[in-house]
Structure 1
Amino acid sequence: MGHDFAKGVAALDRQIDSRIAAYFSSCVHCGLCAEACLFYTETNDPRYTPIYKLEPMRRLWKEKHTFWGKFAIKLGLSKPLTEQDFADWEELVYDSCTLCGRCSMVCPVGNDITYMIRKEREGFSVAGYSPPGLQEATHRALTIGSPMGITLKTLQAALSHVEKNTGLKIPMDQPGADYMTLFSSMEVVNFPEYIESVARIFDAAQVSWTISSEAFEATNSGIQIGSSEAAKELVSRVVNAAESLGVKYVISPECGHAYTAIRWEGPNLIGRPYKFEIIHILELLDQLQKAGRLSLSGSTDIPLTFHDPCQIVRRGGVIEPPRDLLAKVAANFVEMGDHGDMNWCCGGGGGVSANERADGLRLKVFDRKQQQIEALGVKTLVTACANCRIVLEEGIEDRDMDVDVIGLTELVAEHLAAKAAS
């Protein structure tokens, strides 16, 4: 992808809405957001201060939308945004931000810095200043249907193994089912045990569900790279499939940005409300358990803790369901020092894990998660995001830590009551 600075500036300018203008106007330059960002805390590099990552957009806002900014440009007292600024800030915008939202939580004037960086990426993406890995993933998502190149045949092969292991028939393209479930590419390729767990749980709870052959991919690389056009297309495929099948709910899997894309950004991207509801798999499991449809038995005595995926918990609000479920299946569950809506990111969200040039930085900032885990002394880490799981496993391997990472849905499936599981 080539560079088009003028087109990128125009796109960046279009992102400066009333919210962003208000945020820039109200920023008091206190720097508190730095202490909330693991890229800053683990490197002590002031360039990784979250608000500093927005400097190109702030300069454009000032020169285009403020009296004194326009005045300064005319008198030559300040320099306009240049292509070199895009080149210099690309790494900060993509490599050192996971869109985790922790900086937004601590801003004393309520500025949503994560929202601003998400919008800033729109301009950088159009200008061509975005990581090759994310560009390629987005291209594959649009042309093949999956950022990892997963095809329907690949999914069908994975489902065939699940059917063989469980003796259950996986419903595909079933009209009128209550739920249509999505999977991320990582679950299909790296964690098929998640799919098997879902099948076993839904059979036990007698859930009416299906998978669409037209839209089974949950990951939305358009959100990660900052392309509303791509994000809209990917959301539209899911919406069209769900409405064609007439389902009541679409289930977002254990994937953070998939949840953000389909539940929170989706209706705005397509310009209308859905004809169905979005529910995260953890929300559904919690509902089934509380309604008495999901019978669980026994609990593990292994000490374990839970890593809160940022987009699901902090940005999405799914805080209590995972803890309600853990209370049923884990007798020795302990919270991290910072948890819930203030937990620290795994370091690979927001497309960072798909950005190879950021690998060194990502492993460096794993210091924070290592400290959290070792402070508890546990050997088992539970999470609910396939991307978090991959990143956590890579960090643990890099540090030679004796810690296992498991998915919460799988843990629940392991404790299905014998009668329900048979």
Structure 2
Amino acid sequence: MKKQEFKVKATLQKKNNFWYVVCDYKDGDGKRKQPWLKTGIPVKNGSEREKNKLISLVEEKRKELERSLFTSCDTLFVDYAQQWINDNAYRYAEVTVARYRSIIKVNIAKYFQPLKLTLSEVDRKDLEGFYQSLFREGKTPKTISTIRGVVRNILEAAEDDELILNSPYNKAKCIVPNRVKNNLEDSFDYLRREEISTVLEIVKPYYLYPMVYIAINYGLRPGELLGLRWQSIDLENGRMDINFSAIQVEHTMIYKKTLKNKYSQRSFVLSKDAIRILKAVKAEQEENRKYYGNCYYKQEHDFVFLQENGKPFQEKFVMRELQRKLVKNGFRKIRLYDLRHTCCSLMINARNREGGPAFSPKEIMEYMGHSSIKTTMNVYAHVEEKIQREIPDKIAALISGDGQVVNTNKKAS
């Protein structure tokens, strides 16, 4: 990264009863420059004592000019972004580094590479254009927020490296298009109680059934579900520990012992049905191992959910297969994460004999592995909002006398 440096000297001078900082330097062609920089401070008596009080201001103005004269020359924004993650990889967890590399390669480079903008050329309008392109591609506000965070880190590092004077990040606005705002309420989905049996019936003949069942029952994140290992399950005593995860970044799976947060590491009591299902999975794996023999995939981790040949699943593959099976049977598309939302919604809607909540927010938070009660209550708000929207349809159905409760808010498959 080429950077031309200018050594600037500065002194304090009086002019028209105001103090000025007079700088002295030679430009790139060797010509002497002496700009007078305004301070806006009037001269009182011009004493040395008065001048000494302004020494820090002189140094500040000198550094500001010196930094503004630095040029990033041939340092392209994309090149610096890639160099930034290489230099700072040690500061982040492995999965975070992989995600940042993916964002730089798939999103940032895709947009900025054809523009060939240097660091000093990237401005507010360029960033705003980038954000809008992400919305056009169908990226969610949450995903765009993550991408913006990477952009902010890159530009702040460039500012610290004195390759740019000021980062344009804070000036750039990320305006959510109206069409995206209108679809935000549908971004949170979960299965209603009557839909759970339908989904389980659809996937029952396939390998997806145990995964869907366990995910709904225990509210596991996709990474926790695919990272579930036999060594963390005690079928005899009916216990299951969540202490490992399998995260997909692009086409690569990253396996790690550290979970999303310290509250994610939790332990469950297995129900009789869960024990029965997991025993069947284990027995089927043993049969597959014998059938494939030496061709059976040798893996480092003893994962619970594997392909027939012993190879670990990738999250996107499982979600794609789940959606394909559901749509084929006339059901809407759902994500693996929506199974976790389903578990949370079941706990929120559960009632005790007196008609009150069966679980407190704290109990739900601990069961789901949320790091904050605010996260739990945010899910609660989503569920309550959807329930409130369904009430008028249910009342209308009762008034009509047909005895049927019709949910017109149900998404089309």
- Normalized per residue, the structure richer in strand is 2
User: What TM-score do you get using the length of structure 2 for normalisation?
Assistant: 0.28
With CA pairs under 8 Å and 6+ residues apart, which has the higher RCO, 1 or 2?
1
User: What TM-score do you get using the length of structure 1 for normalisation?
Assistant: 0.28
Which of structures 1 and 2 has the bigger CA Rg? 2
